[in-house]
């Protein structure tokens, strides 16, 4: 207890001062030769991904900010199993575990736990179309969970009051693989945190959550129990700073704010459209996206027309990107029903919206403001930003402005704005839908690229085997002569 109070007191002292800058030998006291902050993680949509678009993930972004705070380089070290991850921390191979890890009594006994990053519920997962679990004493089969996951501790505790409860630990798969097996019907149940479920429902809409096994559990980072006092002090100070300046709230909104709503029918339809419709137009989205991520333009196109180049609306908008006639003319489109012209025009117009936004809006959020403007008009978005500012909110943060946009439908607010009434609620749903479609496209794109690499590797292996087989039929002198030529 005395040690903990010392750490906390030290951290609050740091909060009152400018952020400390440590020499590497001070950062990790038992590893004076280390020259980077090494953060261990697990692959996952909410933790860490490394794609052609760069590194991403809640834990990655927080780790990058923490490394910058300490003024040392960051090295993310992804592991495939929790056992490897925890062993690496115990063996001083990494400084921190940042992998959407929840608090358990077992982890409190083994490691130092950082401050809470966000809260989750642990829920029992099953497949839609099968019987919904309502009673832990009468399940139709075993629960499969990742070894050394928080679910093991939770189920062990619940077994005291539910003696029939059975589960099996899986050592060679991760959470997303278990999700996939449940979605296919190959496993009946698994356990996961509520945020991970919502994210994965965008790719596997068959997944459902049922019984809440543990609610409001903190997600934290882990540090070694010995030799991490100074690092923990710095982490606490950093956490207070990020909480004060809104970074934690922003990252929570960025990675989890748009997945609260889930529509099974819409998600299934979108995944079918990716398979059956998108291949015809993907090259056009890639060609005309310009500086934008083509998948965001494609997601907007699906929201507008479900990728129907002949779409028409009673309000006068037309085509794949549903352009008005004046907008089409302003971006050089003379045939709105031509798929390529519409995609090119929509991308140009969206980029114009981004360029017209105030410089105070961060680059990472400009696309969401631009999409809202695409839907409801830039003037109404500016009205919402002014209302947000008047309410003490951040007019340059999408998480705040999306809360205010629906107020443009209420007279007491819109009567004092420049552009008046607007369906702000629709604009919010419009943007959040596009964000979900984009998440799904990123996941599918990543899966396709992995498949291509595997196929290429298989082809290379086959070619190599064929060459070896051909050489086996030759005598050694012929092989030498062939190589020389």
DSSP, res 25: H
Q: Give the list of residues 6+ apart from residue 66 with CB closer than 8 angstroms, or none.
A: 37, 74, 235, 238
Q: Are strands 96-102 and 189-193 parallel, antiparallel or unpaired?
A: unpaired
If DSSP codes are grouped into helix, strand and coil, which group holds residue 55?
strand
* Cα torsion through 16, 18, 19, 25, rounded to 10: -110
Cβ-contact 268, 205 below 8 angstroms: yes
Give the Cα separation of 333 and 345 in Å (integer).
6
If DSSP codes are grouped into helix, strand and coil, which group holds residue 101?
strand
Give the Cα separation of 422 and 433 in Å (integer).
19
Cβ-contact 196, 44 below 8 angstroms: yes
Burial class (CB in 10 A: 0-12, 13-18, 19+), 259: buried
Give the Cα separation of 407 and 387 in Å (integer).
9
Give the Cα separation of 4 and 2 in Å (integer).
5
Neighbours of 106 (CB within 10 A): 13
Cβ-contact 384, 439 below 8 angstroms: no
* Cα torsion through 360, 254, 273, 454, rounded to 10: 110
Map tokens 């965008």 to a residue.
Answer: 202
DSSP, res 289: -
Give the Cα separation of 409 and 420 in Å (integer).
9
Distances in Å between the Cα of 3 and the Cα atoms of 8, 103, 104, 222, 224 are 9, 20, 21, 17, 15
Catalytic choice (206, 304, 382, 432)? 304
Burial class (CB in 10 A: 0-12, 13-18, 19+), 159: middle
Neighbours of 330 (CB within 10 A): 14
DSSP, res 335: -
304 is catalytic: yes
Distances in Å between the Cα of 55 and the Cα atoms of 88, 390, 407 are 22, 36, 36
If DSSP codes are grouped into helix, strand and coil, which group holds residue 103?
coil
- Residue 56, H or E segment: strand 54-56
Q: Which residues are catalytic?
A: 304
């Amino acid at each position: 207890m005395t040690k903990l109070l010392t750490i906390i007191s030290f951290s609050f002292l740091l909060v009152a001062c400018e952020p400390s800058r440590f020499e590497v030998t001070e950062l990790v006291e038992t590893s004076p030769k280390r020259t980077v902050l090494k953060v261990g993680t697990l692959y996952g949509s909410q933790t860490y991904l490394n794609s052609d678009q760069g590194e991403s993930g809640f834990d990655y972004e927080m780790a990058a900010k923490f490394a910058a705070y300490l003024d040392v380089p960051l090295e993310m070290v992804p592991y495939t199993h929790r056992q490897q991850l925890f062993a690496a921390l115990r063996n001083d191979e990494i400084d921190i575990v940042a992998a959407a890890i929840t608090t358990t009594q077992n982890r409190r006994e083994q490691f130092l736990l950082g401050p809470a990053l966000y809260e989750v519920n642990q829920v029992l997962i099953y497949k839609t179309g099968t019987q919904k679990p309502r009673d832990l004493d009468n399940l139709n089969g075993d629960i499969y969970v990742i070894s050394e996951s928080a679910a093991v501790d939770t189920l062990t505790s619940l077994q005291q009051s539910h003696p029939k409860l059975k589960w099996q630990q899986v050592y060679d798969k991760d959470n997303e693989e278990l999700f996939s097996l449940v979605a296919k019907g190959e496993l009946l149940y698994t356990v996961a945190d509520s945020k991970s479920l919502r994210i994965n429902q965008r790719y596997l809409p068959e997944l459902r959550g049922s019984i809440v096994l543990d609610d409001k559990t903190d997600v934290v980072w882990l540090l070694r129990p010995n030799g991490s006092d100074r690092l923990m002090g710095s982490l606490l100070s950093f956490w207070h700073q990020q909480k004060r300046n809104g970074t934690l709230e922003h990252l929570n909104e960025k990675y989890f704010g748009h997945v609260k709503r889930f529509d099974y029918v819409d998600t299934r339809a979108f995944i079918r459209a990716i398979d059956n419709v998108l291949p015809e137009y993907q090259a056009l989205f890639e060609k005309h996206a310009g500086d934008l991520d083509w998948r965001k333009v494609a997601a907007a196109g699906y929201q507008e027309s479900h990728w129907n180049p002949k779409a028409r609306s009673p309000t006068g908008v037309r085509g794949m990107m549903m352009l008005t006639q004046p907008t089409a003319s302003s971006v050089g489109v003379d045939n709105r029903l031509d798929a390529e012209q519409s995609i090119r025009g929509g991308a140009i117009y969206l980029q114009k919206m981004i360029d017209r936004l105030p410089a105070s809006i961060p680059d990472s959020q400009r696309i969401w403001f631009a999409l809202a403007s695409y839907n409801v008009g830039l003037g109404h978005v500016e009205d919402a930003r002014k209302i947000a500012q008047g309410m003490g909110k951040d007019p340059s943060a999408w998480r705040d402005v999306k809360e205010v946009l629906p107020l443009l439908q209420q007279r007491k607010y819109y009567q004092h704005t420049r552009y008046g009434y607007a369906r702000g609620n629709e604009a919010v749903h419009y943007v959040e839908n596009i964000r979900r479609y984009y998440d799904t496209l990123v996941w599918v794109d990543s899966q396709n690229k992995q498949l291509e690499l595997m196929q290429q590797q298989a082809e290379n292996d086959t070619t190599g085997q064929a060459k070896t087989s051909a050489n086996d039929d030759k005598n050694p002198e012929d092989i030498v002569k062939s190589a020389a030529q």
